[in-house]
Chain A
Amino acid sequence: MRHEIQMSVDADPSGLRAVSTAFAEFAEAHSLPADVRRSINISLDELLANALSHGRTGRDPCSVTVEVRLDEERVTVIFTDDGTPFDPFGREAPDTTLPVEMRPIGGLGLHLVGQLMDEVSYQRRDGHNVVVLVKQLVNGQDTDFTDGN
């Protein structure tokens, strides 16, 4: 059984669906715990949406490569895009204590990624943004949570 997936897509809605579908199959094939799978699903969605909005101004959508690797202890996601330099974790956390009327729409996605993952890192390498996310498999990959998986 393959323990990793790698795919390249455009940062657009169809690319987003393709990544989401491929990861869902990967998660099911490896019986990833529901909480790990959901946290990665959310993070992939946030990073792709971010690449879509910050991508390459006035040109084609930026090209994204997503790698997901599984070993005994963790799932590692490597997200690479050729968009303009952008550190997704280099911003201040949004104010999540504001009342509903005051809330700006948006600004939360990358904050979620930072909180849901165990490790996040960013580097600019050879004209690409490279984001690495790590989620530990605390309970072992065979553990299946029964909360609606």
Chain B
Amino acid sequence: MQISTRTTNDISIVAIAGSLDSSTSPEAQKSLAQVLTSAKKVVLDFSALDYISSAGLRVLLGAAKQLRASGGTLGLFGLNPSVREVFEISGFSSILSVYPSESDALGAM
């Protein structure tokens, strides 16, 4: 897994590539926690994310709760069919804001 963060205007875009599972989630959680110390608008770029397991969902849920509590917003884009399926099964597609493209996600922040 690789994580890279860039900032456009006041929006932090965090790209997570590879797999988000039990082995990689602790590192992803650390990186996101760091971003969340300052950012209130966060977009997750999943276009290079291969798959996500419940350990990864847990990290997303934690970030979503934290942002919601602090009045921030979270958006996601670039989900492949597998990640989309996991989102559907788990109900995450209805609790997180998923956008078809980066520009849609940025426009909604």
Binding site for B on A (CB under 8 A): 13, 16-17, 20, 34-35, 38-39, 41-42, 45-46, 48-49, 52, 96-101, 103, 105-106, 108-109, 111-112, 115-116, 145, 147-148
Closest 10 CB pairs of A and B: A96-B91, A109-B54, A38-B82, A38-B51, A45-B53, A45-B21, A108-B54, A100-B95, A115-B89, A49-B22
A148 touches B22 (CB 8 A): no
> Could you say which of B4-12, B37-45, B56-64, B100-108 contacts chain A?
B56-64
Q: Can you report 25 A-B residue pairs in the complex whose CB atoms are below 8 A from each other?
A: A17-B23, A34-B80, A35-B82, A35-B85, A42-B21, A42-B52, A45-B21, A45-B22, A45-B53, A49-B53, A49-B55, A97-B94, A99-B95, A100-B64, A100-B65, A101-B65, A103-B61, A103-B65, A105-B58, A108-B54, A108-B90, A109-B54, A111-B89, A112-B86, A147-B80
Residues of B within 8 A of A (CB): 19, 21-23, 47-48, 50-55, 57-58, 61-62, 64-65, 68, 80-82, 85-86, 89-91, 94-96
Assembly CA distance A111 to B57 (angstroms): 13
CB within 8 Å: A-B pair count: 89
In the assembled complex, which residues on chain B have CB atoms less than 8 Å from the CB atom of A39? Answer: 82
Main secondary structure of the interface of B (DSSP, over half): helix
A interface, by DSSP: helix, strand, loop or mixed?
helix
With contacts A96-B89, A96-B91, A116-B89 taken as known, whether A42 is within 8 angstroms of B53 at the C-beta atoms is: yes
Whether the Cβ atoms of B91 and A97 lie closer than 8 Å is yes
**Contact (Cβ within 8 A) B50 A148:** yes
